Amino acid sequence: MYAVLETGGKQYKVAKGDVIQVEKLECPVGQPVRLEKVLLVGDGSQVQVGNPFLQGCVVTGEITEQLKGKKILVFKKRRRKNYRRKNGHRQLLTRVKITEISK
């Protein structure tokens, strides 16, 4: 069984036992989390699609880690104007292990 869920403005295809990195969820490590914005659930040949979300479908996971992503550089420049700005950014992420997909 697999599901497509939405969190943090992005969509993830998950199955039981998968570990995904999503944008930061405000929960401590070890706490279970319910992701209720489920777009699609598939079980072999049968697929249910929501409009936009499925009612009563919940993906349950456990938060395993709060971390920071890889650093990206943001560099702005205007030619011939002596304008340069260099900035760095590290996105805050949460690692979630999927424990259950319920219809």
Q: How many other CB atoms sit within 10 Å of the CB of residue 51?
A: 7
Q: How far is CA 100 from the centre of its chain?
A: 16
Give 68's contacts (C-beta < 8 A, 6+ positions apart): 90, 91, 92, 93
Quote the number of domains for the chain. 1
DSSP 53: S
In this prediction, residue 49 carries a pLDDT of 94
Running along the chain, 103 residues long, what does each successive block of 10 average in pLDDT?
Answer: 95 96 96 95 92 94 97 98 98 97 90
- DSSP letter string over 63-86? EEEEEE---EEEEEEETTTTEEEE
Structural domain of 93: 2-102
In this prediction, residue 44 carries a pLDDT of 84
Q: What is the pTM (predicted TM-score) of this model?
A: 0.85
Query: Any idea which residue has 């943090």 for tokens?
Result: 8
Query: Any idea which residue has 């690692």 for tokens?
Result: 95
